[in-house]
Chain A
Amino acid sequence: MSTVVSPPTQAPRPDGGSTHPQSRARQLPAVLLRALLTQRIVLLLVLLAAVVITMTTLSSRNYLTAPFDLPYMSSALISAVPLVMLGLAQLLVIASGRGGIDLSVGAIVSLTSMVFGFAYGEWGWPLWIAVLLAAGFGGLCGAVNGLLIAYVGYPALITTLATYYAFSSLAIVINDQQPISTAPIQEFFSSARSIQVPVGGGDPLPVPLGTLTFLLPTVLVVWVLLNRTTYGRRLYGIGTNDVAAEWAGIDVRRTRFTAYLLAGVISGLVAVVTVAQFASARPDAGVTGSGMALPAITIAVLGGVAITGGIGRVAGVVLATLLIVWLNAGILLAVPGNAGSQFQLFALGIVLVFAALLNGLTSRRYGTTG
């Protein structure tokens, strides 16, 4: 699988049967099935539509505790902000190949939250400098991973497991286990509020501010980086076959190092978002429960990022997040209380196993796919 060169941006055309125009009409069902099975984006769109239609139907028949409508869907996006951003961080490192993965993103979020809390809440730095510091500090943590993995040759899984332990420990020790929630930090909560965005002719939708200030810029930057820069081509190149990339004159180590560095920068920005959401810089922000890393990896894999490297698209990660976020939001309305959050785990697990099995099936039936 690692030897197959598959251009990730230019999807294989589903209408491959155009060489036999006379049988094209008869092939249509097969072509559609193939597109559904091999194009992760198509599959995600269909699933997303299914979720939204099911939930709206349930809602219109009053099975849900509250209406599942556009305002509800758009305010649910608040939980998509860290998921998409960390999912993109995983996309960068997983696409870089050689078993790339980053288990430490949650720990970086915790540690950077504390650093941001100190800078903005304790030392009274201006907000934009504190945000820059958070991004820079996250990048520094990512650089530690990148240095060990790309230059020293450590396996990514182990390195990031070790830094997960180290960063999460430092985050707790740095302020003696205490969260920072001084006045500026508490007022910072206002940046996690929703703003009313007029859409079309209808009522304005409440859109969480974080989607506009953090999510959209990150998505745009990562998309441009992967699809419109030479760095993106290099990253997919080393992920597909790093020996070939080396011979093609690519600085494999530097490219892989940069991927982990960028994942750290994104985690640093997620830390700022998390501080705003909690109105407090918490030392365990990114590692409570199952942490932030595992959901992020799940989102990336669901979005079609191949764990073997070299394959993965920004749109897949975004669609996978929307699917999970709206599915979760719907489950919360359908199953109220504690059981709702439990069924969310169930849904995430089932969707992930299903998507993974489908990957295995399609790669046997149609060869490796994007």
Chain B
Amino acid sequence: MSSSTLAPTDGTPPGPRAHTATARGRVLPFPITGQEIVLIVVIAVLWAVLAVATPAFLTGGSIVPLLVAMAPVALIGIGMTIIIITGGIDVSVAGMVMVCAVVVAKTMVGSGVSLPVAVLLSVLVGGVLGLVNGLLIAYGRVHAIIITFGTANLFEFLGLRIFGGSTVNGIPGTLGFFGRGDAGRTLGVPHSFLIMLLVAAAAWYYLRHTAGGRHLYAIGGDADAARLAGVKVQRRVLSAYVLTGLLTGLAACFVIAQGTSTLAPNVGTGMELSAIAAVVIGGTSIMGGRGSVLGTVLGALLVQTVTSGVTQLGWRSQLASLFIGIFILIAVGADLLRQRARRTA
């Protein structure tokens, strides 16, 4: 049971991207795809409209929280992009955020560890959880969505057990470096946003310009063909889930830093869906084999712009979900149209 059998891609070829060995540089697509250009235009238009509608929008007091709030979703989205490129999916990241956040929060309250130790702990816990997913998916040869539904329940159980039926109170401000406040900014730019950009740039380079990155696309295009071409499919797939676990651990630190000194057991709820939404709006194909990190970052920015914008316009905050749903449909529709045009051309 290979991962590509979830959806027979009705004759869509995996694209020429999978073969980079012969003519380097020539076969790589243009660094920025149509979807990303459209996203940039849409975000620019939204920002312009919001700036006209509410003068307070284009001020530091409004943009900084927006960038801080999008950072954890984008960070998880980067990992999710890599997983989805290999043809998998991970719906357990919300549970992972919960476990990492509660472990770190309890440790900080209990023994007052320093910032690097807290981050390292969170990333390690995330990595271990990702390893569990990766081992089950790569070596159990079961479709990712089923395994991660299962581990989502297990992680939630683990997190709730550690919470022990109450909230974690009195979290010290150790993680303020990632937060919204003054400690979380350098020259007005939030650190969490900068770190997310650095990770995104590294992932972008890895996916585009290294053999390992191209292998991930090859696996998503056709796992059997990739294996026959000498790609170590299982090891690569495993590494994608571990990486997502590590990034989710870091994102959990951001989440703690953004919250108050109290951590409630509903931390992380719904993050799997927002991360997948960001990935999909960014133009990554859910069938695997196609996608980019840049698109995901833009997708996360769009989602957060809509969420903040709806609140700032004084509308009911839940209306944001409606717009996000519509944006997902438009983004995927545009991608389908372009694919169709490419096929008939």
Residues of chain A touching chain B, judged by Cβ–Cβ distance below 8 Å, are 1-2, 98-99, 101, 148, 152-155, 157-159, 161-166, 168-170, 172-173, 176-177, 242-243, 289-290, 294, 297-298, 301, 307-308, 338-339, 342-343, 345-346, 348-350, 352-353, 356-357, 359-360, 363-364
Contacts and interface: CB of A to CB of B under 8 A. Distances in A.
Contacts of A1: 1-2, 5
Interface of B: 1-2, 5-8, 10, 89, 91, 136, 140-143, 145-147, 149-154, 156-157, 160-161, 165, 269, 273, 276-277, 280, 286-287, 316, 318-322, 324-326, 328-329, 332-333, 336
B146 to A, nearest CB: 5
Contacts of A172: 316, 318
Nearest to B92: A349
Contacts of B325: 161-166, 169
B146 A307 contact: yes
A2 B4 CA distance: 10
A307 B145 contact: yes
A158 B286 contact: yes
Given A173-B319, A298-B149, A342-B160, A357 B140 contact: yes
Main secondary structure of the interface of B (DSSP, over half): helix
Contact of A342 (B140, B157, B277, B333): B157
B165 A338 contact: yes
A112 to B, nearest CB: 17
B1 A363 contact: yes
A345 B160 CA distance: 10
B315 to A, nearest CB: 9
B280 A158 contact: yes
B23 to A, nearest CB: 31
A170 B10 CA distance: 34
Contacts of A164: 273, 325
Contacts of A338: 165
A355 B319 CA distance: 39
Contacts of A297: 149
Nearest to B315: A173
A99 B150 CA distance: 18
Q: Which 4 A-B pairs have the closest CB atoms?
A: A349-B153, A166-B325, A165-B325, A99-B7
A161 B328 contact: yes
Contacts of B153: 298, 345-346, 348-349, 352
A158 B328 contact: yes
A169 B7 contact: no
A173 B318 contact: yes
30 contacts: A1-B2, A98-B8, A99-B7, A154-B332, A155-B332, A157-B89, A157-B286, A159-B329, A162-B328, A164-B273, A164-B325, A165-B277, A165-B325, A168-B321, A169-B318, A243-B8, A290-B152, A307-B6, A308-B5, A339-B165, A342-B160, A343-B157, A348-B150, A348-B153, A349-B151, A349-B153, A353-B147, A356-B146, A359-B142, A360-B141
B141 A161 contact: no
